[in-house]
Each structure stands twice: as C-alpha cells, then as structure tokens.
Structure 1
Amino acid sequence: MSARPAGTAAFSKFVHLLQLVADSDHPCTVPELVHLSGYPRATVYRTVAGLVAERLLATGLGGKTYVLGPRLIELASRSWDRSELRRVALDELVTLRDVTRETIHLAVPNDLNMVYIDKLESPKAVRMASRIGASVSLHSTAVGKAYLAALGEASCARIVSRLEFYRYTSNTVDSIEALQDQLRVIRQRGWSQDDEENEEGIRCFGAVIVDGGGQPVAAVSVSTLRFRQKPDPRQAYVAPLLAACAAISRRIGSVPGSAYRCPKDA
C-alpha cells in the first residue's frame, strides 16, 4: 500500500474541526471541540490557532468561542457563484421568483439529503429561514420528493429503503408505504408538494430538472406561507414552476459536455 501524502493527517484534523464548528448550533469552545473530536487538547489548541490565523475560524464574544470565519464564507460564496448548474438556472429562477413573488430554492441530491445551492428570497415582508448550503430531508420536502419520483424505480427503492423517517411536523410522512403512495401521485401529475411536512406554516411545490438523457439532477421549489397561499396554487405556483424547470432542463441538455451525474438503475 502506498504511503499517505505528507500533511494528510494534519489536514484531516483541520477539516474535522471545521466540520464540528459548522455543525454546531452555537459557538464552540476548545473543551467542546476536544470532547467532540477526541483529539488531545494541545492538538485542538494548535489546530484552532492555525484556522484562526487563516481566517477560516473567528473568535466569538469574549474570545473563548469559535465560529466559521470570513475567509471560509468567502470561499463558499465563490463556490456557489461558480456552480455551472446555478449559472444555467439563474435567469429562470429569477423569473420564477418575480412571477410567484415567493421564495425559490434550487437543490441538488447529496446521498440521503438535498442541499440548497441557491435561494431567491420573496420580495414580501415575511421570509424563510432556510439558507444556501443547508441539507434537507428527501421524504419531507418538495425538492426531495420531486427528485425521488423522477428516479428509476430501482434507484428510488434503494434510497428510500435507507431513509430514516424523522417526523418534523404532524404532517410528515413516517413510513416507506406512505412515501411511496406520494411518489406515485407525483409521477402521475409531474410535481410534488410539501404540505407543512418539513416546517409548520410552510407549503412548498417542487419539480425536477433533468439532463439531456432525462436523468434527474436537481429540483426547484416555490415556498409560500400557509396564510398567504393563493387560492389556485396550480396556476399561481405550479404552472410557472414547471415552465422554469423545463426551460432549465433544455438549457442543460444544450450545453456541450455538461454531464450532471445521478444514480441510475443497474
């Protein structure tokens, strides 16, 4: 077996500590990072100091806690800006936001989740708490269910069999059978719905983006608040959503060499 490249172990520690800080719902202290990582205190102090020096971490109030630093956020922003899919989709997403006047999400699959790679805020006063880079469940979201429904049966079954059916609200589907029932409806009508299944008071409508070979590569959702949902959501949200996804899919199919990958049936 070939030797690991020099510096790999140190780099892994840097990445692991960054991930712990990113996953935490509050600023982290060194003792917390020692506990969570299992690294010696001296190693954590040294690694954190290096991350702070490179602006990948920043100190919180009082100088004893740590949060993600400005350089990391800048790098992440550039990554999203350079995303080919995001660039291809942006004009249609802007039009969709302007037509519906609601929040638009663009999401891509990542194992058993969907990850938001773009978000266009509603111009209305009350906005969503979601953010670019956030992971959301496949079974409880419009983007997740749209993606699952567009997969081949074998690929879909493999993924669904691995899901943990966490209930975010009283409306969340909590079994394979219930999800499969929803997916059959989605396949028939061509769009998905999250009826307050991921968050109370939020309703979303989703549709899939496909590549030139007809394989699903991403999904788009229109998210609205229950109290301001328009009386005819199919006309107000679903029709422009389907038009936007169809246009983006055509653009992807027309880009030479664009090869977005997703699971295919064996």
Structure 2
Amino acid sequence: MSQSIERAIEVLVLLGEGPQTPAEVARRLDVHRSTALRIMEVLQGQRLLRKLADGRYGVGPGIVSLAHRAQDQFNLAQLAHPHLVALSELRDQTVHLAELQHDAIVYIDKIEPKRSIRLTSRIGQAACLHTASVAKCILASLPEDARQALFEHYVFEKHTPTSLLSYEALERELRTVRERGWATDDGEREDYVTSIGAPIRDVTGQVVAALSVIELKAIHDLGSMQQLMLEPLLETANAISRDLGWNS
C-alpha cells in the first residue's frame, strides 16, 4: 500500500510539470504502462487529475480546490516563527521577520534575546527602507518601477555616518544584494547595532519576505556577524522558503 501511495505522489509531481500520457509517465517512473494508467485513473476519479482530449493527463480541479482551502495553513508568521526562535537561540540575538505591505516593509515577527538589552523595533512597525537589511532584501527583488514608486516622496534621512543618502546609492547597494543573495545594515539606522538579512521565497520563487539577525556592535561587528551567522541565516531563510513551497 505504501508503495502505491508513493507512486501516486510521484505521478502528481510529474504531472505538475505539465500534461503527459500514461506511457510517458510509465517511462519516467520505470513502471509498466498499465500500472501508471491504473494510478492515473484512480487520481482522476478523485478529481486530482483530468484526462485531456489528446489522451494526456493533467492536474485536475481537485488539486486547485485543495490548494485554495489549504492557504490558511500557510500563514507566513506562523510557519516562520519556530525557525526564527531556533536562529535567535544560536547566539541569543534579536531576529526580525518582515514583509512588504502596500507601500511599507513591516516587521511581522520579532524574537527578543534573553539578555536585558533590547532593541526598540516592534511588530507592526515599518522598517527603514534605506537602512534595514530586511528592507534591502525585499527591495532588491522588486521590479524597478515598483521600487521607484516606493521612493516617490521618500526622504533619505541621515541617521548615522554610514546611512545611504540617495536613491542612486541605494540602487548600487541593491545590485550587490541581488548578486550575493543577502543584505547588511552596518549601523545605518542605529550606529551601535549591525545586522545581516536574507530573502524568503514563495512557491513561485518570488521574494515575499525577509529575515534578519541583529547584534550590538560592541559584541560583534559586521565582519564577525557575517562569519558567525551568515550560514545559519541563509539556511533558516531557505527552510522557511521550503515551508512555503519553494523548491530550491
């Protein structure tokens, strides 16, 4: 029975790539055509597959209905929270999760360290677009016109000596973010903290959020943070992305 279930899952995955005939499915799974056809007919009976006019089989309406009904189980903050807690506990650091909401990038979860020193950021607060590493991760993935619209009336305030002060300077940094796949905030909003951020992708591969790990510079500077935390940060971002359906 378990082998039949495995075969059925394999068939669904194959046909998710595009319609195929029973013979094509049989070759891909290395099974007899009659075995493939029997599985496909059972899945068709449950509306998980549909037979096309040319004899091929494709994904059926039951899959669409199931995916739609299951959407509520894929709340980003709920899925990501255990991953954020585990990342924070590695070195007792603050961890942020943020997503684009209309014209702002908003923190939707935050894990506080156990130490008494806490940062002023809070859930529901908008991240600073030209300084926060989570903001840079999300901005770097946006189409240029959508990114420009966010900055139409934006003021590049100088918070610290390392703050970026123009859209052109930010664009140069975002090119770097796209090339290497992660972002930094080297004391650009608060000169006593540093952070590194990584993008989170959905099932289509689109960046839908970002997470960051933040530390006091007195404990770890940017170079030390990258050495200690970049690998676990990227692993955490990829794990959350996989939970959202992304196949890296």
**Above 0.5 in TM-score?**
yes
Indicate whether 1:143 and 2:110 are aligned: no
Gaps of 5+ in 2: 1-72
- Spell out the pairing of 1:48-197 with structure 2 (5 A cutoff): 84-197=75-188
Aligned residues: 174
Confirm or deny: 8 A CA contact 1:146 1:206 kept in the other structure.
yes
Aligned residue for 1:219, secondary structure, equals: strand
Q: Which of the residues 229, 234, 242 maps onto 1:242?
A: 234
CA contact (8 A) 2:96 2:213 kept: yes
1:107-143 Cα offsets, whole Å, 9 max, x none, are 1113343211111011233221211111122111111
Relative to structure 1, the CA distance from residue 210 to residue 83 in structure 2 (aligned partners, 3 Å threshold; closer, same or farther) is closer
Cα pair 1:204 1:222 within 8 Å, conserved = yes
Three-state SS of the structure 2 residue aligned to 1:227 is: coil
1:5-24 equivalent positions in 2, closer than 5 A:
none
Deviations 1:225-263 (A, max 9, x none): 010016632231211111111110111117xxxxxxxxx
What is the alpha-carbon distance in structure 1 between the residues aligned to residue 120 and residue 154 of structure 2?
24
Counterpart-to-counterpart distance in 1, 2:145 and 2:231 = 29
Contact 1:147/1:219 (CA < 8 Å) preserved in 2?
yes
RMSD: 2.2
Q: Distance in 2 between matches of 1:159 and 1:141?
A: 15
Q: Structure 1-normalised TM-score?
A: 0.60
Is the Cα contact below 8 Å between 1:107 and 1:118 reproduced in 2?
A: yes
Amino acid at match of 1:198: R
Q: Amino acid of the residue matched to residue 192 of structure 2?
A: G
Q: Find the counterpart in structure 2 of residue 226 from structure 1.
A: 217
Deviations 1:55-93 (A, max 9, x none): xxxxxxxxxxxxxxxxxxxxxxxxxxx991111101111
Equivalence for 2:203: 212
One-letter code of the match for 2:95?
I
- Calculate percent identity across the aligned residue pairs: 38
Unaligned runs of 5+ in 1: 1-81, 255-266
SS in 2 for 1:253: coil
Letter in 2 for 1:178: A
Give the conservation status (yes or no) of the 8 Å contact 1:161–1:176.
Answer: no
Q: Distance in 2 between matches of 1:100 and 1:109?
A: 28
Q: Which is worse superposed, 138-147 or 227-236? A: 227-236
